[in-house]
Structure formats: structure tokens, C-alpha cells
A and B are shown apart, each in its own frame.
Chain A
Amino acid sequence: MDPTQAAEAAGYFDRDRLNALVLFIVFCALVLWFIRTARQNRNLFIRRIAGLNAVDEAVGRATELGKKVLYVPGIGSIDDNQTIASLAVLQHVARLTARYNTELDVPNKDPLAFASARETVREAYLQEGRPDLYNEGMVHYVTYDQFAYTASVSGVMVREKPAANFLIGSFFAESLLLAETGQASGAIQIAGTAEIAQLPFFVCACDYTLIGEELYAAGAYLSRDPAMLGSIKGQDYTKALVALLIIIGMVCSTAFHWPAFAAWFQAR
């Protein structure tokens, strides 16, 4: 590349996003380094997440009562990270229902999430050596309309009274409608979302709630896969770094009247 071409290429780079690029590189480096470390040393400590420890208990309760487990993967599509995180939990739940021969019901709102959820559950039953227990009706499509979907799922909760309800993924106005209906039906409820506006509703109406990052960590936590746990560790160290930068920025801006440090980190 000659100097003219190099200058031209540099002109295409969005300099306002240099801060994001630096943090992106630091974040990736930390996560990858911890994944590597985790693969070498398998004993990584990750704090207990009560909501995820209760998953086995919820499925066990449904098995004892001979009732179904209802898994609602949210209303987001597969391009939403919360839906991907939800599928990781669904995989674990499906393995448990396959192991204990418990009925599983997964109603879907988004067609792409539906296709992925079906594949996830089918594979989970296969991995547990119980493909005979899997049927296509377990993971089914309902509708693309938010409130029609809510009405359908609420109807299942009221009529069929599942023993365990999982509300994990991306939720909006329907969060409280579903959680309260489930609460009234007497089911043990485990919810999880990263939608801040919906979290209070889940905390009020559910037995356990996965708050924000706990939802994203669920797949790693449940699988106990060292590489995945390593990425959680990397994420935690990045969070500590961000907290430190916030404190430094606060001190620089208030004590030393030097706002340039904090300003450099502003999203543009």
C-alpha cells in the first residue's frame, strides 16, 4: 500500500470511535486470555447464581407433581443476545426434562427463535439418549403478535397449570402479564431478562430472577464448560476495569477540574 492509499484508508476510519476500538481490543484480550487460562486450569471460581441453581429444583418439582414445564423464550428474535442466552438455558432444561421424562412446552413468538429452539430441544433429547420422548409439538409456534402470544401463554398457565414456568429472554409489556398469571397459578417461576424496565416486574412476581449479566452468564454457568467460564471471568475483570475508569473519571472531573479524561470515554 503506497502512502496515498494508506492516507485514504485512514480517512475512512471513524476517529470518533477510537475509544470504542480501544475498549473493544482490551475487552477481547481479557476475555481470550481468561479463556486460555481456564482451559489450562479448570478450577475457576464463579459466584453462585441462585436463579440458576433453582433450575434443577423447578424441573424436579414438576416431575414430582407430574405436571409440565413451561419454557417461554421471550419475544425477541435470534439476533437478540437475550434469546441466544435463553436458548442455552433451554438446552439445560430440555436435558433435565428428557432425563426425568417430564413434559416440556415451549411456545414461540419469533419464527427464527422457534426454529432454533426446536433444534436445541431436539438435540438435548438426543444427547440424553431419549429421542423417543421428543415430539414436534413440544416446541411450537404461536403468533407474531405480542399480545396474542401473551394471551395464548397465559391461557396455558391458567388451564394446564404447569408446575414450573421459565420466563427467560427478551420481554417487554407482556412481562408482568405472564409473571402475574404464573404466580396466580401457583407455579415455581424463574425469570431472566436484561430489559431494565421489566426487571422490577419479574422481581415482584417470580421466585427467582436472573438480572442482566446473570442471564448472559447462564449458558456458561450451567454447562460448566471451562472455556465459557473463562469468558465470564474476563467479563468480570473488564467490569472492574470500567468501574475503576469511572472512579478515575469522577475524581478527575470533580477534584482536578479536568473533564477531558471522562469526555474521552463518551460514546459518539
Chain B
Amino acid sequence: MHRSLAVVISVLVLTIIAPPALQAAETVWSGLVIADNISQPQPIPSELTRIEGLLKKFFGYNQFQVIGQSQKTLKTGQEDWLATSKFFGLHVDARGEIQRGYVLNLKLYKEKELLLETEAKLSKRSPLVIKGPQVGGGQLLLVLIVQ
């Protein structure tokens, strides 16, 4: 009986004081996406399948094409990078890791012109979608996903 009690107590204590799992380096995918409605849409890019429902439902388009993208593995949480297309540039400046994600400063440029600036706490479980300017019959979307 003493042995089983000791085992129960050990398990309980270990459960309580068990340290959180070590955090591994994570990759942030950032993309410039043109959303539009056409009669025969192409399949959604693999990077966006996770939020396909949200994109279609929320923005009302049936085709999503990646025109620029960047994949950055964050080690210190202080990195910065650029996702660019021919005319647009998304500058991402990571300003530190928080408990469940990263603090990011985002700047959307049209050529050299700053269109939009925002600061966000990007959660590891929650993608960020930014509606950009209208481009022709479609819409520029900025997407950030921790992979």
C-alpha cells in the first residue's frame, strides 16, 4: 500500500511541476495573395489550405493566387524579412517572442510608398489576414501563418 501511495504522489507531483515543453524554432509564412472571382478557379495554394474556408467565406472570392511570399524560420524572434511581388513589398520586423507567438511590425509598400503599417501579436495557432487595396477586379490580401 505504501508503494502504491508513493507512486500516486510522485505522479501527481510530477504532473504539477512538469516544465513546459521546450520551444522549437518556428517558421512564419508571409504571403501576398491576389483574390478574385473567375469562372474556373485554380486550386488554392497549399500554404492557404488551412484558411481556405475563412478566405472564401470572409472575402467572397473563389480564387487565391500567391504573387509573393517568404518563409522565415524564427530563432531569436528578432528577425526581419521581406515578401515581395513585382509592385508590392511586405516588410515584417519581428520584435520579440511572446508566450504564444511573436510581436510583429508589418509594413505594406506599393513600390516605395508606404500604404499600411500595423503591429500585431501573431499567435502560433492563429493566422493573420490583412485586406489590402483593390487591384483590378480582385483584392490584395496579406497572409501571415506560423507553420
Same assembly: no
Taking Cβ atoms with an 8 Å cutoff, the residues of B that contact A are none
Taking Cβ atoms with an 8 Å cutoff, the residues of A that contact B are none
